Amino acid sequence: MNKKGFLGLPFGSGKKKEEKKVENKENSEKSDIEIEKKTAKPKESEETIKDYKAGLGEDPTIETLTEEMKIAKRIAKEYTEEEGVSKKQEESDESSSKEVPTYKTGIAGFDVLLGGGGIPCSTSVLVEGGPGSGKTIFCLHVAQSFCEKGKKVLYMSFEEPEERLIQHMESFGMPAKKYVENGTLIVRRFNALDIARSVEALLSEAKKELLIEVQPILIPQDIEPDLVLIDSLTSIASAFSGEDNRFRIYMEQMFRYLENNKMSSLLIREVANPGHIGEGHSASDEATSFLSDGIIVFYNVVLNTGKRTRAIEILKLRGQPFDRRIVEAEIINKKGLMVYPKRTLKGKYTLT
């Protein structure tokens, strides 16, 4: 058995062995290079890397990675050191499971505030603001966007008759009559007092339990909409006057029903003073705000010059990044709602 020194090298190794060791080292390095060439993936073109960087928002003129760095990066992504399992596939599966489908509003300027993404599907979003601020026309634009894709929309009106809503859409260049004829738009008028009475009866039957079945008094049995528009929560709340607890129970069950049935919804709510949302509201109003997945607020604005304009703000939107600025908006005849993401409200102004 050969004895070894403190470095682990055999005693008595002479010059020839050292030369042989150098030769073996050179051969080993050549072999490693050949293996690396065989196993390495094809070199990506500079143009491809530039496109990739541009997609991430990086400067495409940055110097491209060296071949060694790219190989190391691929290996690190594709395999775990412990198990040798493809990590790339795991990351892909994880990413797919986290991806949430979204929908566009059909209002280009507003969609910019969402980073080009959209509103997550199967969520309930409050659309709030004062009278004439643009709440209804916003919802009608979203309805048009769904109808154009062949998706079914249910517009539940507690204030306006069906004919007037259809005329309202037509006046802004939306072919509402066509949507009604092809079945993508269903406009129904409901009585808020009927809902309040039905909830009271159900609660009495359930002996004041907190869980009731609201489907029969919310969505018609013969309709399975992709989008539900409720105009407005204010009318429903007034029907529950003095019965905040019952209204809160109804809202909890309604939000749960919409979510369980994967329905996207926009719920209009008139706010007396949108500039102070969250202040001076009833417990039921605050509960509704908490239960919702998003809140979009419309403002009537009085500038310090005396000029009046409109503005819009995304106050809350779960699961989606968004621009938090208050930006200008206006309603144009035959065009509808226009949102200007580059026009941030500045200076002195009053929100009403």
Residue 117 burial class via C-beta count within 10 angstroms: exposed 0-12, middle 13-18, buried 19 and up = middle
State which H helix or E strand residue 198 sits in.
helix 192-205
pLDDT in the model for residue 245: 87
Q: What is the DSSP track for 40-90?
A: SPPPPPHHHHHHHHHHTT--TTSPPPPHHHHHHHHHHHHB-TTT--BHHHH
pLDDT along the chain (352 residues), means of 10: 38 44 49 49 44 38 44 44 40 51 95 91 96 95 98 95 94 96 96 88 67 60 90 93 87 89 95 61 77 96 91 94 95 94 91 84
Between the alpha carbon of residue 49 and those of residues 41, 42, 66, 71, 75, the distances in Å are: 14, 13, 12, 14, 18
Report pLDDT for 207.
Answer: 62
Domains for the chain: give ranges and CATH numbers: 18-98 (no CATH), 102-351 (3.40.50.300)
User: What's residue 82's pLDDT?
Assistant: 39
Q: What is the pLDDT of residues 24-68, one digit of tens each?
A: 545 555 555 454 444 444 444 444 434 333 333 334 433 444 454
Pairwise CA distance, residues 116 & 104, whole Å: 9
Pairing of strands 264-270, 124-129: parallel
Looking at residue 213, its pLDDT comes to: 61
Both tokens assigned to 100: 């949430």
DSSP state string for 98-128: H---EE--S-HHHHHHTTT--EETT-EEEEE
Task: Confirm if 258 and 109 have CB atoms less than 8 A apart.
Answer: no
DSSP letter at 190 equals -
With 0-12 / 13-18 / 19 or more C-beta atoms within 10 angstroms meaning exposed / middle / buried, residue 142 is buried
Instruction: Check residue 287 and give its pLDDT.
Output: 84
The pTM is what?
A: 0.70
pLDDT at 352: 82
CA-CA distance, 352 to 342, in Å (whole number)? Answer: 21
